[in-house]
Amino acid sequence: MPNNDYKIEKELIPRINHIKNIKILELGVQRGKSTVKFLQLCKNNNGKLFSVDIDDCSNVSNDSNWKFIKSRDDNFKYVKSEAPYEFDVLFIDTIHEANHVKKILYNYYDIIKVGGYIFIDDISHLPYLKKFKRDNFYCEINNQETFKILTEIYSSNKENIDLSFSFISSGLAIIKKKSSQSLSNHKKLDLREFSFKNFLRKIWKKSKKI
């Protein structure tokens, strides 16, 4: 299975490597794999990277184009005071739980430029299914719930954002901001998967096979 480095190189970097004077806000550093890639892009495009992590990751780089902010990603007032810009890119890779991702998305949306991108890592539950290589109940359910809530947000904001998904490795949500309007509150989708009508459809399909 392709790894996260491949996912970033194939699905993320090509969408933003043309942006001059690019400003990137990265939430989640860990070992700094994505940080190093973003800094190379900043070097090429005269950009600036701000990275946030609750752990001290300040030794990842001494690049002058980088500012590390030791903080929770949901300490919005503090992070915004340390990074007082409009951003071309927001990369979310911290707590992979649906409600946390939603909170982060809504609270940082206002500082993303129109035409800018929001990338959300870990939205695919497929690698974590039972008996699969990465078999992990926690990741399977969290990623599935995150995927679902992002489709609900998109359904309520089609005029404001475009949304697409990559299923390379653990997946990536790709959001492009289309307008300066704030995001509307999302509504649960009224799916008919468990409806009586679908129950009858399944019975009809089975009868056709007899």
pLDDT single digits (tens) 67-123: 999 999 999 999 999 999 999 999 999 999 999 999 999 999 999 999 999 999 999
- Identify which of 173, 176, 56, 46 has the alpha carbon closest to the alpha carbon of residue 122: 173
* Residue 62, Cβ density class (10 Å: 0-12 exposed, 13-18 middle, ≥19 buried): exposed
Looking at the structure of the chain, the number of domains it has is: 1
The H or E element that residue 176 is part of is strand 172-177
Query: What pTM was estimated for this model as a whole?
Result: 0.91
- Residue 156 structural domain: 4-209
Q: What is the pLDDT of residue 147?
A: 97
Cα separations in angstroms, 162 against 67, 143, 147, 176, 183: 29, 20, 15, 5, 12
Cα 140 to its chain centre, rounded Å, is 16
Q: What is the pLDDT of residue 210?
A: 59
In this structure, what CATH number is given to the domain that contains residue 77? 3.40.50.150
**Mean pLDDT, residues 15-43 taken together:** 96
For the chain, give the number of residues: 210
Cα separations in angstroms, 141 against 101, 106, 123, 195, 203: 14, 22, 10, 23, 29
